[in-house]
Structure 1
Amino acid sequence: MTPEIVLDLYGEALYLVVVLVAVIVLPSLLVGLIIATFQAATQINEQTLSFLPRLLVTLLTIMWAGPWILTKLLDHFGNIFTNIPLFLG
């Protein structure tokens, strides 16, 4: 296995992780921003007010995007396992 192949696999895996995490985290960040704006406008300084909506949005996002995430992970690992003979030489 050459260093180029290892770096290519590492780059693909890192990109996949970034995309999958972004799909889960971005909706939660948007909800947090909306709630923070609401809190700033109404001068409500309750720290726990944003926790439950962000938690629910994160769980709903995982439920909604879960099959797509699983498909992406299985495709990536399937590609790795089918190309093992090519990687070894």
Structure 2
Amino acid sequence: MTPEYVVTIGRQAIETTLMCSAPMLIAALGIGLIISIFQAATQINEQTMTFIPKIIGVFVTLLIFAPWILQKATGFLISIFNQLPTITP
């Protein structure tokens, strides 16, 4: 196993993690931005007002993107398992 091979697997793992978490992070960012604009416009500075919409938004986004996330994660794991016989110590 060469250092380049380890770096490649690490890079693929990080890319897969970012791709799988991106929809929920983008949804939380968008909802937070909308709520921040609403709070600035109405001058309501209630910190707890942001949590429930973000939680609901992230949950709905997870429900929508769950099949895609599962496909990406299993694809990565299958590729890792398929490469195991070719790895030499």
- TM-score greater than 0.5 by the shorter chain: yes
Say yes or no: does 1:70 pair with 2:70. yes
Moved more, 72-81 or 18-27: 18-27
Q: TM-score, normalised by structure 2?
A: 0.93
Q: TM-score, normalization: structure 1?
A: 0.93
8 Å contact from structure 1 (residues 24, 58) kept in 2: yes
RMSD: 1.2
Q: Which amino acid aligns with 1:83?
A: Q
Alignment of 1:4-83 (within 5 A): 4-83=4-83
Deviation at 1:76, TM superposition (A): 0.3
Structure 1 residue ranges (4+ consecutive) displaced by more than 3 angstroms after TM superposition: none
1:62-83 deviations in whole A, cap 9, x for unaligned? Answer: 1111111111010000001011
Report the count of equivalent residues: 89
Amino acid in the other structure paired with 1:14: I
- In structure 1, list runs of 5 or more residues that go unmatched: none
Gaps of 5+ in 2: none
